Amino acid sequence: QLKVWIKNLDDIQLGLYAIHLWQPLAALLSRLLTRGHTKGNEMLAVIQDAFIVANYPIRSAAFTAWSSFMLHIFQSDDYHQHQLSSRLLKLFLTPFLPDNTSKSKSASIAKCRAWLVLLTAY
């Protein structure tokens, strides 16, 4: 349902609500998301759609939520900072590769902040 809400361009508030709802759900399911579980992959697909949606406020919110998700992972007991998992790094880099946010200042700033979170963690 979250994917449908994010793609609904008629109701931007509903899309933003879906992103804000995704954030705590991702934290709760973080083990599933980082270990490639089917349900975790479904949750990742939700935020992946938000990274490329045509609405820039939703994109901006998605990068902010992604920053929070990365911070949650880095602060969890399962993550060892000295261990650089290539799978985890690939997961964290995914939203930065296919995106063009230069048309929106707020989305570009949110993307840069997400980059900073990733860089300081590694």
What is the pLDDT, as a whole number, of residue 44? 86
Are the C-beta atoms of 3 and 25 separated by less than 8 Å?
Answer: no
For 15-54, the pLDDT digits (tens) are 999 999 999 999 998 888 877 788 888 888 888 888 888 8
At 82, the pLDDT band (50, 70, 90 cuts) reads: very low
Distances (CA, A) of 103 to 49, 72, 106: 18, 29, 9
**Cα–Cα distance for residue pair 41/31, rounded to 1 Å:** 11
Residue 97 scores a pLDDT above 70: no
Give the integer Cα–Cα distance in Å for 71 and 89: 13
Q: Measuring CA to CA, how many Å separate 4 from each of 8, 39, 99?
A: 6, 17, 20
Question: pTM of the predicted model, to two decimals?
Answer: 0.71
